[in-house]
Amino acid sequence: MENKQVTLQTIADMAHVSKALVSRVLNNREVRVSAEKRTQILRIANELDYIPSGQIFTNAANPGLQKTIAFILPHLDYNFMSTMADTVTRDAYENGYSVMIFDGKNDSSLEMRYLDLCHSLRVSGIILDSFSSANNKKYIEKLTEWGIPFVFIDCYPNVPGVSFVSSYNKEGMFRLTESLIQRGHKNILSIIQDKSTLTNVSMQRLNGYFEAMDKYGLTGYNEIIYPDREYSMQPIYSLMNSSVEFTAFIIHTASDIRYFCELIPSTKYAEKLNFEIGAFDDFNIPFSDYITRRNEDIYDRIVSVISQRPKEIASQAVHMLLENIKKGESFLPKQIFIDCDLIYLADGQK
């Protein structure tokens, strides 16, 4: 669908709300609406490439979107991302700023397109949770060239002098792995998704896993799971059907637990659900699984979770960006790491 065909009414019809509600959400005005409905409206607008009409695009003398910041996310599918989006919107609004939220759909080319749009609109600043570390240097070069203040969130580029806010991923994964070791597990398989292997965050988590295994003199095993490929053709399938007996599994990105659930039935572990699972970050069980109790046996195997703090991460990013906007060239880049929380889900442990 072309941009000129997408109107506020188009979005309202798809979200089953009023046109007025869509307008207020997209313009970050006060309105009584649930976080879920707000996220749905923003997602629909992004999926349709909605661009508002008006003076901003027709009057070259317009000074741009003053007092507006952009927030670019890799996706809006899970609670962690939507909570950050809601917090950024709230904190920015309390400081007199509006927020435009972009869903990058795990597509680096779309991220670049959004950055170009932010440049065209002359936004005051950008908070960026980039999909792939491989493109961060290019993004930084562009943003620096354009003179747009920016802060990375939930990731940390391999470029010195760049501001970011993220979690202590390595330390969090170390604690998660250690929690399973202390439950008596010696053979623990680390599972990471293919698209996650490109990020510094995932590499830090992997380092944390191996450091914990090394500390206790244990052999570490890590395999990639490819959601878009036939599981029987993947190395992880061969390993999980080999003579090695894993008693625990670590899922690096907890939203990937659904791929683990798909893989298990084709392995020897389908007949003996006596393993335990550690998951990094909170995750949402699909509604269809919840009402049908599908995969319940596997979900019951999750004994410990590392929970990040999305509200704290997002709030720090907003205030860092606003400080950058205010100080301009005198602003000194900052790097902030936020603690994670280890949560036990078994045996009444605290």
Query: Residue 319 has what pLDDT?
Result: 97
pLDDT at 197: 67
Residues 49 and 3 sit within 8 Å (Cβ to Cβ): yes
State which H helix or E strand residue 178 sits in: helix 169-181
Phi, psi torsion values for 176, nearest 5 degrees: -65, -45
Are 344 and 119 a contacting pair, CB within 8 Å?
A: no
Q: What's residue 349's pLDDT?
A: 45
CA atoms within 13 A on the CB side of 28: 22
pLDDT for the residue 105: 85
Helix pair 169-181, 200-215: axis angle to 10 deg: 40
- Record the tokens describing residue 207, joined without a space: 């380092």
Question: What are residue 290's phi and psi, to 5 degrees?
Answer: -65, -45
Per-residue pLDDT of the chain (350 residues; tens, 9 = 90+): 444 567 888 999 999 999 888 888 877 677 788 878 887 888 788 777 776 554 444 444 444 557 899 999 988 877 888 899 999 999 999 999 999 999 988 888 888 889 999 998 889 999 999 877 778 888 999 999 999 999 999 988 888 899 999 999 999 999 999 999 999 999 999 999 887 666 888 899 999 999 999 999 999 999 999 988 999 999 999 999 999 999 999 999 887 888 999 999 999 999 888 899 999 987 677 778 878 888 999 999 999 999 999 999 999 999 999 999 999 989 999 999 999 999 998 654 43
The pTM for the full model equals 0.80
Tell me, what's the pLDDT at 58?
A: 41
Domains of the chain with CATH codes: 3-167+310-337 (3.40.50.2300), 169-308 (3.40.50.2300)
The per-type count for the chain, helices as H runs and strands as E runs, is 14, 12
> Residue ranges of the alpha helices (H) in 17-168?
19-26, 35-47, 55-58, 79-94, 108-121, 136-146
> Which pLDDT score, from 0 to 100, does residue 170 have?
97
**CA distance readout (Å), 276 to 17, 187, 212, 333:** 43, 11, 17, 42
Bridge partners, 305 (sequence order): 279, 343
DSSP 236-282: HHHHHTSS---SEEEESSGGGHHHHHHHGGGSGGGS----EEEEES-
- φ and ψ of 8, to 5 deg: -60, -35
What's the angle, vertex CA 109, arms to CA 315 and CA 234, rounded to 5?
A: 95
